[in-house]
Structure 1
């Protein structure tokens, strides 16, 4: 059975037997348990072969290798052997508690929902049997596979939970665009609404792929949803990623968990167009440097909070609803104008539709920068970008995910093209010379942006791309297309007559 078939069978087993909101607890909790148990068992067998039973049961031997200690009753082989027990759900919950009690970094992070009255023990049993067939080595080589499993189930229950499900999940290709554009390699990274931790995970993958040290990037994040907070902790822990995550039930905008901190990088996919964000309470907040956000929409509250968290040379990538680029209601147009005139906005990227799970709301990416001069006085290798912005129109990019009729994703080549245009425009070393590409990217002056009344929709600036010349003479093409149109009209009349005849027979 392929991994895709296994995951589909697992989702199908859960579908109809529990609320979609439980999927993430059950599926991802068991995957976490399966991996940490496999990693433990691998190291246990190595120690047993080399040094004997005493070393194999020495807690410190696992701690020194960054491997979680898994007590006997929590080990996968024990749960698998007892998977048909009617109390298997309770046994899994106890296994989660036992792992938390032995590993301080996991306290409060693991789900204990398997023994609930609403969860069929047969489903838990079946999932254990299915996940036992997934081949894991218990090493970092498993992370790509685990990432695919997380992505599958996160997307599965995001679409089942409806539009709000997209609040906690950013599609992988959108994450990759932002990470590849702002390149968080050294300093402090912050996620103000970290969701499942996808930005953090890809940032670490970026570091590893480009031979940077993980120790050079400190990660911070906060999240309002406690379930999602736990999911992120599992997601990071399984990869050995160290981060300071805070659960903040009041919400980031109302109570900043890091009030005195500034960051080199911020990445965020805040919930779109939220009206219940306590805007009336925060009307006089010091963060609203560019104008007070409307009480009925938090989009520009998020943007200004994120900009406020940037250090003197910080840069941010923010996913936003398309309306943020053009809305003039409730003072949003004035805030946007103030941000542009203050050189707070570096680049705008229009994304293709159908990227997000559970919602078809079109989205864009704002790149914010605290210092668009790129510190020219300190580093002459970088280009001063003050007085202009980069616009990238990626709406024509993306293709349907194999097996899906409506879900799209960007390819690695498309992601690289977007990031390369941005790096070239910034004047980064080895990025090549920047040039406008009609239909794709344009470096627009402040004067040009002002002429468009500070509407930041990339399509207004990049123009139309070049059309391919098919070498067919205009006269011949006109005659051919006219003939095709007449034939279609004739076919339409024929079908209309046929339908009328059939209707008459029914009278």
Structure 2
């Protein structure tokens, strides 16, 4: 192979991972298929016309060993939460230290080894951990994991990260002892923590399970087993996993591509844990710029491409019109269309802006999609589906075999689900209602039947009147439509009652035990002697004229500050960088204009966000003098809020406090150990307050659902008369 690499520019390029070049076997075999072996170089058993690709396949078949495969067990969700809390709490700090991302990768690798290795080999690894050096065990785990990935055709590269850890030996053994208890629910919780700690953005964050499952079942509805399924932007493999779960086993070929090696090796690991055979290859961030051939021809395509990214390269085939340079949403959409077989179909996740954008080029593309009948259906999902952005999305269903002038099905699930702590979640109930509407429409039945999500089959003329908007709420009139039964409500309200009791116990018993006044001498310091006070970006950077084209960035506004927490974010596209205004963990935000006195602490999950003009940031703390959690509590004191409001300028209709004024604030500081104790106590109370807010939201949601159903006599009452 080395001779081919040196002599032929057309030889497939390597994938570089942690300093090593790897070649995709499938790409090398495909290249070998184009090179016929000369007669004087053929083996006696090789007929004329044999290619190097065919020779390699024959050799691989003769030497083939069973592929390592494991299936991660199904586990109890409540038990999984408790286990993950233990693994990522003090135990995690003793193993991972400040390298929590690498520690999570250690947990991923250990889970794979426990699932794929024989029981005797796993037990041997744990026994060795009790006797061997920590570094030797980490090297063994990393190398064995990478070997498993390579043997199954996936990109390796975990060893380097996990061998950088310096764990406490006993804690490492404790972790390995608990790994066998991890199942699918626990592993998903670890993945959630991973994408928070790794600060993944829209180019590499993971697609939620609820979205992948719905997209797969919509697309695969009625499909046969012999299908080629392709994800051109595979992220961590979640779309391929959902496709494999939705399609009957047998004859299915799964392929994914990604430009990000770190998420691609995680995708390989996840596929192995689900016992799924698939091919992953190194993709491009602009795969439509492949002049020789398309990346893949597939029967079905499922993908969640990066949102609203600038299109630096626009060389491609555009059947519905060239996309604008400022945004590649429609470049991805048309790449998926071009990659389909003649009767192929695709499900593509796109942000809502793609459905309604007034950009002339995007509007023209939507018009062409509708007129040529390439768009089959659009499903609107609720905001906050993703952990790291509140941006709302739709699932677009495309068909390669176009049907000019055909109606489009619009399904509105934008009010479905219920709010969780950091996401809006929808489960089986919402998904089944969307599928009921879609399946009724595909089979020619009425779509406004009980148990179906609000939907409408819309003719081309009506879409034209709406200026070719593809946003379902523009066509479907709905309120909160989720069906519920009294029995279901009883179950949910029982959960709420348990949460309420836990909050009451914590407030009555736990908080008083730590609620001791500060001891030691109080010293007074000006705020500017304890930290930096930074004003937000210039308003000119955020003006509409500077909003597009450019990268989408997550922006925190004053409205997102509540109860000393950041509760949300907006996304804006800017020409200019806001690098100087990127938030870090433990930064404190203060409202600069408007609701003076509101403050919030930046958590580990929120680092990487940016802050708005109307906010001030406190950072660069002198850690030997002040604890940020204590300072947050101090800034929330009533007399401090009164001072801030008095000092705010009222020369305009909206009160404003500037950075120089805030720097003058006097802070009373007890000894640092006391600050930390007080900060922990207040943080516990804030956690309880957040739980109460969540509890209130749940009750309010169900009160609305119950009222609507009772007043329309639609709620089943298990045969009992009201």
Q: If the length of structure 2 is used for normalisation, what is the TM-score?
A: 0.51
Task: Name the larger-Rg structure.
Answer: 2
Shift of 1:11: 2.5
**Residue number in structure 1 paired with 2:368:** 338
Moved more, 233-242 or 157-166: 157-166
Which residue, 188, 200, 213 being the options, matches 1:151? 188
Which residue, 137, 140, 148 being the options, matches 1:94? 140
| Contact 1:266/1:315 (8 A) holds in 2 | yes
Q: 1:253 to 1:6 in 2, by over 3 A?
A: farther
| Contact 2:299/2:341 (8 A) holds in 1 | yes
**Residue number in structure 2 paired with 1:167:** 204
Moved more, 333-342 or 172-181: 333-342
**Residue number in structure 1 paired with 2:326:** 296
**Residue number in structure 2 paired with 1:200:** 240
Question: Relative contact order (C-alpha < 8 Å, sep 6+): which is higher?
Answer: 1
Q: 1:465 to 1:115 in 2, by over 3 A?
A: closer
Corresponding residue SS for 2:325: coil
**1:307-456 → structure 2 map (5 Å cutoff):** 307-329=337-359, 331-371=361-401, 386-401=405-420, 405-427=421-443, 432-435=445-448, 440-456=454-470
Work out the CA distance in 2 between the residues paired with 1:270 and 1:369.
18
Work out the CA distance in 1 between the residues paired with 2:88 and 2:359.
42
Q: 1:250 to 1:269 in 2, by over 3 A?
A: closer
**Residue number in structure 2 paired with 1:219:** 254
Shift of 1:164: 0.5
| Contact 1:160/1:358 (8 A) holds in 2 | no
Q: What per-residue deviation string (whole Å, max 9, x for no partner) do you get for residues 55-76 of structure 1?
A: xxxxxxxxxxxxxxxxxxxx33
Work out the CA distance in 2 between the residues paired with 1:109 and 1:503.
57
Work out the CA distance in 1 between the residues paired with 2:480 and 2:394.
23
Work out the CA distance in 2 between the residues paired with 1:231 and 1:8.
22
Q: If the length of structure 1 is used for normalisation, what is the TM-score?
A: 0.71
Work out the CA distance in 2 between the residues paired with 1:257 and 1:291.
20
| Contact 1:25/1:113 (8 A) holds in 2 | no
| Contact 1:440/1:465 (8 A) holds in 2 | no
**Residue number in structure 2 paired with 1:486:** none
Work out the CA distance in 2 between the residues paired with 1:503 and 1:156.
38
Q: What per-residue deviation string (whole Å, max 9, x for no partner) do you get for residues 445-467 of structure 1?
A: 10000000001111110024499
Shift of 1:278: 2.9
Q: 1:112 to 1:135 in 2, by over 3 A?
A: closer
**Residue number in structure 1 paired with 2:129:** 83
Which residue, 261, 282, 286 being the options, matches 1:247? 282
Q: 1:259 to 1:153 in 2, by over 3 A?
A: same
Shift of 1:444: 0.8
1:259 aligns with 2:294: yes
Residue-pair matches, total: 404
Structure 2: runs of 5 or more not aligned: 1-77, 483-637, 647-722
| Contact 1:191/1:268 (8 A) holds in 2 | yes
Shift of 1:206: 2.1
Structure 1: runs of 5 or more not aligned: 45-74, 137-144, 374-384, 469-498
Work out the CA distance in 1 between the residues paired with 2:272 and 2:324.
38
Computed over aligned residues only, the root mean square deviation of the Cα atoms, in angstroms, reads 3.4
